[in-house]
Structure 1
């Protein structure tokens, strides 16, 4: 399929044939993501090393009317970089990863879009700085450009919302190859645009002082009502400015953590991370003792759990911890060892192991964001789906977990599906070596695969009807977080990309 493509011109644009891939193996791999197989293989993959080369390769593609998709860390589960036509140019952004120097007095950091969240975190930390939302759990591989285009959340999100909320400006390559600077109110259209308005090349983001102290809290609840009452209060403003993360797990998630996530707690590496993050020797000893008294069997008996990280200085931090304790206890929360948030924060960006379940199962997540008073209905929808499909799920050994988390003034609900199945070429290339060695020969389970995708589509439709909104849209979700931003995109798209070449099919743009 590459014979008619302008391979030589594309090669010249990015500095030589070593930055172009046309072989079947790499093109086939680039047609897959975590969720499975895309419609087409890209015709060619380009990996520019400079923003100038990025502009040049876009101009060549535009001259030949080639659709363009952009790949960062490659961890999409919504078809974010899938090609719809075989003449598609895929641009791999990972070599555009510079983080401009900062000082302790800096209020902004400028990064190239291919930099990972982990790179930015490590570049800022020695200067006592941090991004307000400093990345998703996959930040060791996920890129800032991809995170802004899809709008991600997790670390720091209970107070600071979404990563895109802290973008101050960006340089974007338009459809004709020009580099345009976006700032002010226009930023809202480019954040979460799935790349349809242009290619994010360089991004300015707000930074904050790295909090001097952290306080960790974990609690068990007998059902979701108490958990949601606490998360609702936080989303409505309780502890705003102090609470950085507030995420909840159900019993299936506890089983998964006990089966694999907690097995790594026994490794000296994580114990060392926790000890270093604790500060003094006394604090380190206390932290490791808490880890030691959190046996896996205890975790699997808990119906729901809440895990929080509070940040700040005393006495405000101590006051906030007391307020959170009172809020949780008044809603039925029981303190348990704070191992989960403590380990997560000791080293935020570890190798990504979540692409498979605890026993090597395939993994397919989904989500929706709800206003605080709408989250009960969301969990009712999840429970109804479990009941309705219980027999079918048991027949193909499919399990569904559910996680909740406070994201600013919203709560995200994230069902995740796990089922035994053979590994795709994407997974074989991307899971950890020990996972591949243990599960590389898994047998195909098409019934489980079909049911997982059916349930994801069904829950997405029901979440949307219940008022849920979506981020990380890719080509799967059709209801963007902001209707006003979508209206702005409709106005900007014809000027930036008159031929509709950027990520066709995303956000219902052709």
Structure 2
């Protein structure tokens, strides 16, 4: 390993090769605790596709396993190897090239979504690709590798370095002497590398479709039951009248109104800039204040909607159509403070821990519209059975339920008091690090959550769920048709015949797991 480290340092720079225990442990952590996890042997940080290719050729000569890594904010062990490996940290590959006339951008895989949004703002543009709320830290390459509920249609092409060090380009980046503007010319080789959890190669560059910023309108509704809320969400998704819908249960709604409303007050200037009116800004801030005051009294499921339009009237028309559906399902309208706040400040990692610093880990499933209501009912029935054990261990469950299209994502989230790991602490503010950094370990609660996640994932699968960030948690291979599983195995064998690229990712697929 010392000779390999020296050779890599010569090519990448000594400051971009780390072998100390602290860096190696942090580079293979995610947001949950995984028995059998192994620290990295080494962490390297190449600065370009070419440097990545050079490094991976050396690693091939030494026969070392490789784990690609962005920000590491996974909760499915997607970057947690079971045996020592060399971690390729993509954080230095953070360049952003905007081609506004052609509505495209080419970015380094290590660029964050927030950095991209800042680069696009002067052009009045946004990424057409949906992005995670953790985009202040989460990298674009990480999202590409992990996949995202809602699909990856905004990705136009990729640069990927394979296990043998061969750099390949797909889609919009594959054509010679042409601006990267179109993904589909011949077979869709870009799609091959989307959602692969890094099992097929290290993403180094991403071409993205851009879109103009639009006017937005907002609506929020409260429901007495999850069933009524889900009926409204499904009806709104079927009507295709809003851009985004998300819902929270009573527990999550109360904490969100206490935390997110306060955060939103800090972004009133951004809201005012979007509103273009001091009166509207004052009205929005007053609404946020009312929401914060009423947080303790709110005891209903809440559904929050955003509709985009070419004009303000067009956006409002979408919300009006959704309003009729929501009210018809038994909802009552409440101030749309939360969707406005999220529009003004779309990225935050405050949610990496609970409101009082609790550890947090979700489990999710994307459901067909026709199965969403039955799945939520089945989950709620299981919560009742789990309640005594969860209460004894101090574990609570809340939800985020969302839709960006013709599906519903149900995401139960577990919270419990436990020691925070270095990955949490590194991403918290100084004040929250001081508040939450000394909690004692709670392995019993952690084990209980581990088992409960398996149970809930199984229930969602019984209702036809699919999953993003497969990692080493969601069972892909057992749910695939035999021919599909064999094809996936064949692709893995072709791209990585020695099984060195993120071994164990895409859990359950022969040749990948």
Taking structure 1 as the reference length, what is the TM-score of the superposition? 0.91
Contact 1:275 1:288 in 2 (8 A): no
Cα offset, 1:113, TM superposition: 0.8
- Residues 221-300 of structure 1: pairs in structure 2 closer than 5 A: 221-239=223-241, 243-266=242-265, 269-298=266-295, 300=297
Secondary structure of residue in 2 paired with 1:469: coil
Residue of structure 2 in register with 1:131 after alignment: 127
Residue of structure 1 in register with 2:466 after alignment: 469
Secondary structure of residue in 2 paired with 1:507: coil
| CA distance in structure 2 between the partners assigned to 1:253 and 1:235 by the alignment | 22
Residue of structure 1 in register with 2:166 after alignment: 178
Distance 1:152 1:127, change over 3 A: same
Residue of structure 2 in register with 1:364 after alignment: 361
Residue of structure 1 in register with 2:177 after alignment: none
Secondary structure of residue in 2 paired with 1:454: helix
Cα offset, 1:12, TM superposition: 2.2
The C-alpha deviation readout for 1:197-238, integer Å capped at 9, x for no partner, is: 111111112111211x11111110111222212221233243
Secondary structure of residue in 1 paired with 2:153: helix
Cα offset, 1:259, TM superposition: 4.4
Secondary structure of residue in 1 paired with 2:206: strand
Q: How many residues align?
A: 490
| CA distance in structure 1 between the partners assigned to 2:159 and 2:346 by the alignment | 28
| CA distance in structure 2 between the partners assigned to 1:101 and 1:349 by the alignment | 21
- Residues 97-496 of structure 1: pairs in structure 2 closer than 5 A: 97-103=94-100, 105-153=101-149, 161-162=150-151, 164-183=152-171, 184=184, 185-211=188-214, 213-239=215-241, 243-266=242-265, 269-298=266-295, 300-312=297-309, 313-350=311-348, 352-479=349-476, 489-496=488-495
State which drifts further: 276-285 or 367-376: 276-285
Cα offset, 1:436, TM superposition: 1.6
Contact 2:257 2:291 in 1 (8 A): no
Cα offset, 1:141, TM superposition: 0.5
Secondary structure of residue in 2 paired with 1:70: strand
The C-alpha deviation readout for 1:13-69, integer Å capped at 9, x for no partner, is: 32x211100001111222321112461011000001121111111111111111110
Contact 2:243 2:404 in 1 (8 A): no
Q: Give the one of 16, 22, 27 matched to 1:25.
A: 22
The C-alpha deviation readout for 1:462-491, integer Å capped at 9, x for no partner, is: 211221110011221123898798665333
| CA distance in structure 2 between the partners assigned to 1:82 and 1:26 by the alignment | 14
Gap regions ≥5 residues in structure 2: 172-183
Secondary structure of residue in 2 paired with 1:438: helix
Distance 1:296 1:193, change over 3 A: farther
| CA distance in structure 2 between the partners assigned to 1:335 and 1:417 by the alignment | 28
**Shift >4 Å, 4+ stretches:** 480-488
Contact 1:254 1:299 in 2 (8 A): no
Secondary structure of residue in 2 paired with 1:90: strand
| CA distance in structure 2 between the partners assigned to 1:99 and 1:291 by the alignment | 35
| CA distance in structure 2 between the partners assigned to 1:124 and 1:246 by the alignment | 24
Secondary structure of residue in 2 paired with 1:180: strand
| CA distance in structure 2 between the partners assigned to 1:474 and 1:34 by the alignment | 13
Contact 2:379 2:459 in 1 (8 A): no
The C-alpha deviation readout for 1:152-204, integer Å capped at 9, x for no partner, is: 24xxxxxxx32x12212111111221111222422222111111111111111
Taking structure 2 as the reference length, what is the TM-score of the superposition? 0.91
Contact 2:261 2:337 in 1 (8 A): no
The C-alpha deviation readout for 1:331-357, integer Å capped at 9, x for no partner, is: 11111111101111112123x111211
State which drifts further: 339-348 or 177-186: 177-186
Contact 1:381 1:459 in 2 (8 A): no
Contact 2:68 2:202 in 1 (8 A): yes
Secondary structure of residue in 2 paired with 1:309: strand
Distance 1:290 1:487, change over 3 A: farther
The C-alpha deviation readout for 1:297-328, integer Å capped at 9, x for no partner, is: 34652321000111111443232222111111
Residue of structure 2 in register with 1:52 after alignment: 50
Secondary structure of residue in 1 paired with 2:160: strand
Secondary structure of residue in 2 paired with 1:379: helix
Secondary structure of residue in 2 paired with 1:360: coil
